[in-house]
Amino acid sequence: MIFLNSLNFSYNDTPIFQNFTWRVQRGERWTLLGASGCGKTTLLYLLAGLCFADSGKLLIDGDEIMRPRPQTGLILQEYGLLPWATVEENVHLGARIRSLYGADGVHAPSHETRATRNAGAWLERLGLDTLSAKYPSQISGGQGQRTAIARTLSLNPDLLLMDEPFSSLDALTRADLQNLTLELCAEENLTLIMVTHAIEEAAIMGNKILLLGNPPNENAQIIENPRAGESDYRDSEEFSELCHDLRQRMERA
């Protein structure tokens, strides 16, 4: 689905990625891990079409990314909710903005009733239907992130990009939303790319982990993690061993 071929990207004349090649298959869940400043969020923004490589290729489904694509959803740490809009209005926002660019009947429903029904379905699926009339200041951080997820999924993405979406939440809420995200990826056959600075979260969420080092990331490491998402994985010895291994790799990177 995603193919980066010999990609080069610099920021203020500092190479962040040099001759960087990476491939992601449809339906895979990847976590991007590494120290601050290694390029995790930059890579996510390249995939989102919000910044562009100096040279090389970045293809999604065979198309070179020259702008944000309708099928890509992006969820940030700061939920991006409009404070003067209700939960329901925030969930509808994506479809309303996209309609300004011309509906295609799939990624932006051509009929307002269909768009309303789709947003309403996600409000209910994420347990927000009883909060639909509340404003962001009246709901918790976890509920705010659920609202952001509902808004994104109401647009029918096939690729979900997440930039440290749960880092500001308490441990129990974070675990709840991690499990919810895993369920939704399986139900909707989503490809997931998640940036995180937390080793444990990387191991929980990613069937594959891309460990970035110091720029220009010529020796990024890929760690296979096939048990990620299994209900008993968090408490297993295998999980503890992987987290220990990742910590050692980060120290050496």
| Residues 67 and 10 occupy one common structural domain | yes
pLDDT above 90 (res 156):
no
The residue segments making up the domain with residue 95 are 81-157
Residue 76 lies in a domain: no
| Residues 163 and 253 occupy one common structural domain | yes
- What's residue 104's pLDDT? 53
| Residues 163 and 99 occupy one common structural domain | no
Domain boundary pick from 134, 157, 180: 157
Structure confidence by residue, pLDDT tens digits, 99-131: 666 555 555 544 555 666 778 899 999 999 999
Structure confidence by residue, pLDDT tens digits, 191-232: 999 999 999 999 999 999 999 999 999 889 999 999 999 989
Mean pLDDT of all residues in the chain? 91
pTM, two decimals, is 0.92
- Find the mean pLDDT for residues 235-251: 96
Number of separate domains in the chain: 2
- What's residue 231's pLDDT? 87
251 class by beta-carbon count within 10 Å (0-12 exposed, 13-18 middle, 19+ buried): exposed
| Residues 56 and 168 occupy one common structural domain | yes
- What's residue 110's pLDDT? 47
